Chains A and B, each alone.
Chain A
């Protein structure tokens, strides 16, 4: 079976993968068309700050004016979740992109050259990994002042070690393969060997992990925002919006679910987004892993 037909066959076999692709696609559309779906009001200078319809602390249930209702402080939920999609993509792609670049570079250098360089890298990653990720991220965000960029920086710093180690491990196993020796025997320079032979063969596991991780990164960013250590208050970010709902989850005396929309709606968005990427990552793995897909 040729490449394309093979991919299509595999996708058909697992409907979940198609679901994943569809979900991510829908979210991408939402992010791109955010200004159309939830237009920024006139005079509002930063579209990422959710517009407020007043200052009352009590959330308003969904109505004609605010389709998803408002959360504490009268932030429009619809606006928040729509523009939050953009934030999520920003975070996910920037962090994973940066981590991939750093991880691949450092990992391949360490893995290919081995020796002292490898030892040093292993010790450094050990140190970073010994630190609980959330705490390190928290410490960094506090040190640098909470903001979107800080979150991204913190997550990059926290995530790169695992990728570097992953790439290093793959490279170690590829390095001794015969075709690498052959390339060396033919006189290729080290750099050329890395770029043309080693990387293409070891990159697939890393890409799979990366696509699965976009979801994890967004979850971590949401957690940080939820804990109050991320974006400024009122920023269009899903985690932020859920932190608003903390005080309202017990509802009123007669109706425990009175303020369900404050917590359920942003949460569903996070959940679906992460789910979509996880399914997508699974789909990648099923396609790219030759051993598993040949049945």
Chain B
């Protein structure tokens, strides 16, 4: 099947002191393998919450109340992410699904160097690979024992090799883990660290960071915003190739840097063949980058279509209003009348009806379901009935 992620009826509520906020109210979304899906909406529409929900990173007082998130595993089966144990979910985070956030400065830990933060993930998720590489390196060193240093270090290297081999066989053995804890002794594991660093450096080069070796030793506050975001992307992609969730990654950057990051993402997407869920409020960026676009409003998906269809033929009143609201040179901007609804007291029925020019009576009473009215074009609006009995897809 071509689907990577299938979200059904996802509902997330925040139980705050002022009341219950229904951040997501029955969200249905599909992400296909290898595609870039744009999730577009205003602030407060619930797009970030959707991204966090996929990774099950919703913290109290938020709670995923209902729904299912089916994720394609390697063996062609699907698992419901919401039903996994925390331990299983953790093994998916960072390795199968990764997320990059809006503020790169906030995402990087200020007290650790870039290299440390990169290798941390690599050692966690690509341990086998790292161990194998380390063993290879040691084997090569052992073969070239012509000089004095080689002879002196031989016993140490042999010990390291057997240690690494035992890690390869049984990854969770106690002895290596103990060794890793003791400050002086853990230098023995530096072979692993070096290989991980090599991988990290190559990732930094992938994201087009100049002078990667030097950057490895630097700290987050020494980098510019654009560099930091590249590092964050490198961190996410260093271990993960299936789904990358990007939450407004360019919003806090200069426009010129924005363009670079977007080009970078395009290139990486092709290379790694991963799916990308690109969350943004910027329609222009969505047009640049995405294959399909989903429009969100107040916790509901309004319309989903290919990027061409969405821009050429928007059907939902909200989508149409969004397109009109983009300022064009020489024209007056058309703002959407009214305000985004207060999260605590959402309008009844269709969430958009108070601001909709074409609102009907039924819009006040029932919230429209997401239905497919044309191939690949879904919409949730009472104006469009679609084929009778068509199920939402």
Minimum distance in angstroms from B123 CB to a CB of chain A: 35
Residue among A1, A9, A295 with max Cβ neighbours from chain B (10 Å): A295
Residues of chain B within 8 A of A13, CB atoms compared: 17
Which chain B residue has the least Cβ–Cβ distance from A1? B18
B110 within 8 A of A: no
Minimum distance in angstroms from B252 CB to a CB of chain A: 19
Residues of chain A within 8 A of B17, CB atoms compared: 9, 13, 295
Within 8 A of A (CB), among B163-207: none
State the CA gap A1–B17 with chains docked (Å): 10
State the CA gap A248–B271 with chains docked (Å): 83
Chain A: residues with Cβ within 8 Å of the partner, total of: 4
Residues of chain A within 8 A of B16, CB atoms compared: 295
Which chain B residue has the least Cβ–Cβ distance from A293? B17
Is chain B's binding surface mostly helix, strand, loop or mixed?
Answer: loop
Residues of chain A within 8 A of B18, CB atoms compared: 1
Within 8 A of A (CB), among B1-51: 16-18
Minimum distance in angstroms from B75 CB to a CB of chain A: 42
B155 within 8 A of A: no
Residues of chain B within 8 A of A9, CB atoms compared: 17
State the CA gap A212–B16 with chains docked (Å): 29
Chain B: residues with Cβ within 8 Å of the partner, total of: 4
Contact with B along A1-33 (1 / 0, CB 8 A): 100000001000100000000000000000000
Minimum distance in angstroms from B119 CB to a CB of chain A: 34
Contact with A along B328-340 (1 / 0, CB 8 A): 0000000000000
Residues of chain A within 8 A of B61, CB atoms compared: 295
Minimum distance in angstroms from A9 CB to a CB of chain B: 6
State the CA gap A35–B61 with chains docked (Å): 52
Which chain A residue has the least Cβ–Cβ distance from B17? A295
Within 8 A of B (CB), among A269-295: 295
State the CA gap A1–B18 with chains docked (Å): 8
Minimum distance in angstroms from A187 CB to a CB of chain B: 35
Minimum distance in angstroms from B59 CB to a CB of chain A: 11
Contact with A along B61-93 (1 / 0, CB 8 A): 100000000000000000000000000000000
State the CA gap A295–B19 with chains docked (Å): 11
Residues of chain B within 8 A of A1, CB atoms compared: 18
State the CA gap A13–B16 with chains docked (Å): 13
State the CA gap A9–B18 with chains docked (Å): 10
State the CA gap A1–B16 with chains docked (Å): 12
State the CA gap A9–B61 with chains docked (Å): 17
Within 8 A of A (CB), among B110-143: none
State the CA gap A295–B14 with chains docked (Å): 10
Which chain B residue has the least Cβ–Cβ distance from A13? B17
State the CA gap A228–B192 with chains docked (Å): 65
State the CA gap A107–B61 with chains docked (Å): 40
Minimum distance in angstroms from B312 CB to a CB of chain A: 43
Minimum distance in angstroms from B55 CB to a CB of chain A: 22
Minimum distance in angstroms from B60 CB to a CB of chain A: 9
Which chain B residue has the least Cβ–Cβ distance from A295? B17
State the CA gap A250–B16 with chains docked (Å): 55
Residue among B16, B17, B18, B61 with max Cβ neighbours from chain A (10 Å): B17
Minimum distance in angstroms from A11 CB to a CB of chain B: 13
Minimum distance in angstroms from B19 CB to a CB of chain A: 10
Minimum distance in angstroms from B299 CB to a CB of chain A: 20
Residue among B16, B18, B61 with max Cβ neighbours from chain A (10 Å): B18
Minimum distance in angstroms from A10 CB to a CB of chain B: 9
Minimum distance in angstroms from B23 CB to a CB of chain A: 15
Which chain B residue has the least Cβ–Cβ distance from A6? B17
State the CA gap A1–B19 with chains docked (Å): 11
Within 8 A of A (CB), among B355-381: none
State the CA gap A295–B16 with chains docked (Å): 7
State the CA gap A206–B16 with chains docked (Å): 29
State the CA gap A13–B61 with chains docked (Å): 15
Residues of chain B within 8 A of A295, CB atoms compared: 16-17, 61
Which chain B residue has the least Cβ–Cβ distance from A10? B17
Which chain A residue has the least Cβ–Cβ distance from B16? A295
State the CA gap A13–B17 with chains docked (Å): 10
State the CA gap A59–B386 with chains docked (Å): 95
Minimum distance in angstroms from A286 CB to a CB of chain B: 12
State the CA gap A1–B61 with chains docked (Å): 18
Contact with B along A87-128 (1 / 0, CB 8 A): 000000000000000000000000000000000000000000
Which chain B residue has the least Cβ–Cβ distance from A294? B17
Minimum distance in angstroms from A110 CB to a CB of chain B: 28
Within 8 A of B (CB), among A194-253: none
State the CA gap A153–B17 with chains docked (Å): 45
Minimum distance in angstroms from A120 CB to a CB of chain B: 32
Which chain A residue has the least Cβ–Cβ distance from B61? A295
State the CA gap A9–B16 with chains docked (Å): 12
State the CA gap A295–B18 with chains docked (Å): 9
State the CA gap A107–B345 with chains docked (Å): 46
Minimum distance in angstroms from A14 CB to a CB of chain B: 12
State the CA gap A295–B60 with chains docked (Å): 10
State the CA gap A258–B44 with chains docked (Å): 68
State the CA gap A295–B17 with chains docked (Å): 7
Minimum distance in angstroms from A292 CB to a CB of chain B: 13
Contact with B along A63-93 (1 / 0, CB 8 A): 0000000000000000000000000000000
State the CA gap A168–B61 with chains docked (Å): 37
State the CA gap A246–B393 with chains docked (Å): 82
Minimum distance in angstroms from B152 CB to a CB of chain A: 53
Contact with B along A34-71 (1 / 0, CB 8 A): 00000000000000000000000000000000000000
Q: What are 6 A-B pairs at a CB distance below 8 A? A: A1-B18, A9-B17, A13-B17, A295-B16, A295-B17, A295-B61
User: Which A residues are within 8 Å of any B CB, using their own CB?
Assistant: 1, 9, 13, 295
3 tightest Cβ-Cβ pairs between the two chains A and B: A295-B17, A1-B18, A9-B17
